[in-house]
């Protein structure tokens, strides 16, 4: 989702692109992307998070698969799949041209075919128990999808493990992959695996880091920041992250349930505008940002304000997920997105990082967007804009409401829902 702040100096126009990515059930997105938007004036666009909601999947049978990911040269990777039983196909949801461009099947007799939204690796219908592929670092990204790779200035890379996961076919049967990742780095490099997903063990994993850097403790979280990150961005992200965490912890009366790693990479200073892609990765205990464009180097109050809103929004999702069970579900994305918007504005105001005027202007802009959409939450913009409007219209403080929702989701593990909101609001 794109957020822009208007600025009345036309000499400083810039184009902003922002991406959100994420997924719900196989083909539905959560935070998609706004491809490329241009605004008059100084604009800042920020990506919110990508949360992969909990799949209340019709429990599909699962098959254990060992996935070895080895860094073999600077931008070359080898993936070895080992299946617990013989299978007839490995079926991965297509991520644009990623696999067609960068994947090479190494196992003799096997090949990959792409179409109908899937990349399928098979051996002419013959059963197999192993498959190996070679992958090159991919710089492309798809709207509504996580970025497959991020490059860091010191040669480090992060790899989105979820793009190595998918389904398995055994004849006419489809099974889910229960992936056990084995990561190995190049030479002496440091490898940081994402922690297991506590709420949803078989969901897509987050980013694995391979490179020379170490994650550095910063308050309650750890950070891994590209050395090229300009000071204003480093400061803004860390400061807002620390202040909103402290605020959410106190307001919602709960601490982080998972270790949190914040990954920041910057690239493509030569491209126009300012782009920030990434967000919170559900269950992975990670918030990943990739910043691109000339304006990344520009320190401007409106850009700081936009980045602050984005970070506060992502951290709100982290708190929505700081529950023993339940949390974000596959229905009604406006609940966690609109909820994160309202939680973020509250946190920014209460910590003094935003003025009343900033909050008022942002609410007015979102309300106008929502009105154009007729109040509906069935579109990408509607999820955010009308989601916020809906929470604002409840007449209940966002803090007591979400504190109650976090308690309610933990009772039986039911995901956040409209019904839960109605029950809480009617009891107030
Ligand atoms: Zn979000």
Copy the structure tokens of residue 140: 């492309």
Look at residues 14, 37, 3 and name the one whose alpha carbon lies nearest to residue 298: 14
β-pairing verdict for 89-93 and 118-122 = antiparallel
* Tokens 């990344």 belong to residue: 296
Question: Whole-prediction pTM value?
Answer: 0.81
The number of C-alpha atoms within 13 Å of 167 and in the hemisphere containing its C-beta is: 19
Apex 13 CA angle, 10 and 15, nearest 5: 155
| 34 neighbors 17 (Cβ within 8 angstroms) | yes
Domains of the chain with bracketed CATH:
62-145+155-188 (2.60.40)
User: So what's the pLDDT on residue 8?
Assistant: 20
Q: Where are the alpha helices (DSSP H) in 300-332?
A: 301-320
Ligand 1 geometric centre to CA of 40 (Å): 25
Q: In angstroms, rounded to a whole number, what is the distance separating the alpha carbons of residues 274 and 270?
A: 11
Which DSSP state fits 411?
A: H
Look at residues 227, 250, 241, 228 and name the one whose alpha carbon lies nearest to residue 314: 241
User: So what's the pLDDT on residue 9?
Assistant: 22
Which DSSP state fits 220?
A: T
User: So what's the pLDDT on residue 219?
Assistant: 74
Ligand 1 geometric centre to CA of 344 (Å): 10
User: So what's the pLDDT on residue 5?
Assistant: 25
Which DSSP state fits 369?
A: H
Letter string b/e over residues 110-139, b meaning 16 or more CB atoms within 10 A of that residue's CB: bebeeeeebbbbbbeeeebeebbbebebbe
Ligand 1 geometric centre to CA of 384 (Å): 8
Q: Where are the alpha helices (DSSP H) in 152-300?
A: 231-251
| 276 neighbors 300 (Cβ within 8 angstroms) | no
Ligand 1 geometric centre to CA of 361 (Å): 20
Look at residues 139, 22, 131 and name the one whose alpha carbon lies nearest to residue 75: 139
One digit per residue, the tens of pLDDT, for the chain of length 428 reads 222 222 222 222 222 323 233 222 222 222 322 322 222 222 223 333 344 443 444 578 999 999 999 999 999 999 999 999 999 999 999 999 999 999 999 999 999 999 999 999 999 999 999 999 999 999 888 877 889 999 999 999 999 999 999 999 999 999 999 999 999 999 999 999 998 888 888 889 999 999 999 999 877 789 999 999 999 999 999 999 999 999 999 999 999 887 899 999 998 888 888 888 878 887 778 999 998 888 898 888 988 999 999 999 999 999 999 999 999 987 789 999 999 999 999 999 999 999 999 999 999 999 999 999 999 999 989 999 999 999 999 999 999 999 999 999 999 999 999 999 999 999 97
Q: In angstroms, rounded to a whole number, what is the distance separating the alpha carbons of residues 122 and 88?
A: 6
| 210 neighbors 185 (Cβ within 8 angstroms) | yes
Ligand 1 geometric centre to CA of 265 (Å): 20
β-pairing verdict for 286-292 and 261-267 = parallel
Task: Identify any residues that bridge with 175 across adjacent strands, giving them in sequence order.
Answer: 168
User: So what's the pLDDT on residue 60?
Assistant: 83
Ligand 1 geometric centre to CA of 121 (Å): 33
Ligand 1 geometric centre to CA of 224 (Å): 22
Look at residues 16, 136, 23 and name the one whose alpha carbon lies nearest to residue 73: 136
| 416 neighbors 329 (Cβ within 8 angstroms) | yes
Ligand 1 geometric centre to CA of 318 (Å): 10
- Length of the chain, in residues: 428
Ligand 1 geometric centre to CA of 97 (Å): 26
Ligand 1 geometric centre to CA of 133 (Å): 33
User: So what's the pLDDT on residue 142?
Assistant: 81
**Which regions of 74-215 does DSSP assign to beta strands (E)?**
76-87, 89-93, 103-105, 111-115, 118-122, 128-136, 149-151, 157-160, 167-170, 173-184, 190-192, 207-211
Copy the structure tokens of residue 321: 């997920």
Ligand 1 geometric centre to CA of 333 (Å): 9
């Amino acid at each position: 989702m794109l957020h822009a702040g208007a600025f009345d100096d036309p000499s400083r126009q810039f184009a902003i692109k922002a991406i959100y990515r994420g997924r719900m059930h196989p083909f539905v997105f959560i935070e998609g992307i706004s491809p490329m938007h241009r605004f008059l004036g100084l604009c800042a666009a920020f990506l919110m998070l990508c949360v992969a909601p909990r799949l209340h999947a019709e429990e599909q049978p699962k098959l254990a698969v060992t996935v070895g990911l080895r860094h073999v040269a600077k931008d070359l990777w080898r993936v070895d799949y080992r299946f617990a039983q013989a299978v007839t196909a490995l079926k991965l949801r297509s991520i644009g041209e990623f696999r067609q461009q960068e994947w090479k099947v190494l196992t003799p007799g096997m090949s990959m075919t792409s179409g109908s939204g899937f990349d399928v690796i098979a051996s002419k219908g013959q059963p197999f128990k192993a498959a190996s592929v070679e992958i090159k670092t991919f710089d492309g990204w798809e709207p509504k999808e996580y970025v497959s790779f991020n490059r860091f200035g010191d040669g480090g890379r992060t790899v989105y493990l979820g793009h190595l996961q998918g389904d398995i076919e055994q004849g006419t049967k489809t099974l889910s992959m229960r992936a056990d990742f084995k990561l190995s780095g190049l030479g002496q490099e440091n490898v940081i695996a994402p922690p297991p997903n506590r709420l949803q063990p078989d969901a897509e994993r987050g980013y694995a880091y391979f490179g020379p850097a170490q994650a550095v403790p910063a308050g309650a979280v750890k950070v891994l920041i590209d050395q090229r990150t300009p000071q204003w961005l480093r400061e803004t992200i860390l400061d807002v992250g620390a202040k909103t965490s402290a605020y959410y912890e106190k307001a919602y009366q709960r601490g982080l349930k998972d270790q949190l790693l914040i990954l920041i990479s910057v690239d493509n200073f030569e491209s126009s505008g300012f782009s920030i892609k990434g967000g919170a990765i559900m269950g992975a205990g990670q918030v990943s940002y990739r910043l691109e464009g000339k304006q990344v180097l520009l320190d401007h109050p409106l850009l700081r304000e936009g980045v602050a809103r984005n970070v506060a929004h992502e951290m709100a999702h982290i708190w929505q997920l700081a529950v023993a069970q339940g949390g974000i579900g596959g229905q009604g994305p406006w609940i966690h997105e609109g909820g994160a918007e309202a939680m973020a504005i509250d946190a920014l105001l209460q910590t003094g990082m935003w003025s009343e005027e900033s909050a008022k202007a942002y609410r007015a802009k979102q309300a106008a967007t929502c009105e154009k959409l007729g109040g509906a939450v069935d579109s990408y913009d509607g999820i955010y804009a009308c989601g916020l409007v809906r929470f604002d219209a409840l007449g209940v403080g966002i803090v007591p409401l979400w504190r109650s929702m976090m308690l309610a989701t933990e009772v039986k593990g039911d995901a956040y829902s409209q019904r839960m909101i109605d029950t809480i609001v009617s009891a107030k």
